[in-house]
Structure 1
Amino acid sequence: MGKKGVAVWIFSFLTFIALIHFIEAISVLIFNNQIRLLQLYPYLGEKLQNMTPEAYFLISATSVFILWGITCAIAFENPVEAFLNKVLSDAKKQSAVENQLLEQKSEILDAMSETVETNNTLISEVKDLVYNIRTEVKEVQPLKENVEKIKSELTRLKREIKKFKENLEYPEKCPVCGKPILPEFKVCPYCGANLKLLPEKIIALKNYK
């Protein structure tokens, strides 16, 4: 016997006792009989004997209706309905949990979307920066070419200045090798040509050799 059966049996028994008292209360009111059932209760029989028939009737009637209502509520409780209610309650709880999870996932997706948008903004900024750097590099390239030209011009000027200095220091040159020499040189220190000879003779001597 389950808990439900035990509860129905107990409340049915109490309802039956209350009904007996209710019947006795009716007989007391109608036939002016004495209250006898209350004498069965130990320690309370003497006090309950002083109860008026009207109070006895009201208390017994109220007890019958209350106990009978409790018995019916327990006895006629539909287990299928209780099971369905439990299933619906569990489904509601599960739905609430799923809704909470969906809200959390939606928050995560929103955060991911914001992160992606931020990354896209950063990527676009990086692209703009790279484009600007390329533009500046293209602008710097002609300057680099100009610097190279200036360097080559400076090198050429240095050579000319060096030649000019050599011409100032050594105004004469060897007619054979073209190296700068001093006026007091009689023989070229570079090629060994005799500087006292005429250029025509030197050329003839060179051809002869």
Structure 2
Amino acid sequence: MASPSFTVITMSQFRQDFIRFAISQNVLRFGEFQTKAGRLSPYFFNSGLFQDGAALRELSQFYAQAMLTSDVEFDMLFGPAYKGIPLAAGTAIALAEQGRNVPYCFNRKEAKDHGEGGTTVGAKLQGKVLIIDDVISAGTSVRESIELIRSAGATPCAVVIALDRMERGQGELSAVQEVQRSFDIPVISIAALSDLLGFLQGQPELLQHLHAVQAYRDRYGVEND
């Protein structure tokens, strides 16, 4: 049986479709939320609310398309525990449906000292490894993943995330920019805050949130490189 294929669409439409999907799943919500940095954000993105089979399948297809439409070459996927585990597994399936069968693995929070042992589960870390996660906040998960991949003799080639908040960290750079500059690897996002603003402008029922999101962007935002 032939593998299903994605409809050919522009990246703009692809990003807008993802935002619409995240809102429909209540993963992207509007209101007043306190971030880890202590800021009051007018929106909140919680990928843990993609919590059934149909949602994970569609989410994985978005990740797969973001990877396939990028210029990044990769040999396998790595999902940091814990949120990266279902993302890596689901995206590996979505890629296989597109005729791109790649191995994947994930790490344990604690090394296993019996059975097969080790700190990773799945395929051996080798070649060009693409790290898949939900968001980059402080960048701790990505840094730990990069160290683990390099210690295995493999090469971290990129990070792919669902949403880039395009927001300053402790300095003038965003967490995404800090990762890109510190490790000299690209970060691919399915969508970014700029896409959310564009989406809100075209949705009359959500226009009441546009001013608050734009004001937050003006105060804390950064420009993508």
Tell whether the structures are fold-level matches, with TM greater than 0.5.
no
TM-score normalized by structure 1? 0.20
TM-score normalized by structure 2? 0.19
Query: Normalized per residue, which structure has more helix?
Result: 1
Higher relative contact order (CA 8 A, sep 6+): 2
Query: Normalized per residue, which structure has more strand?
Result: 2
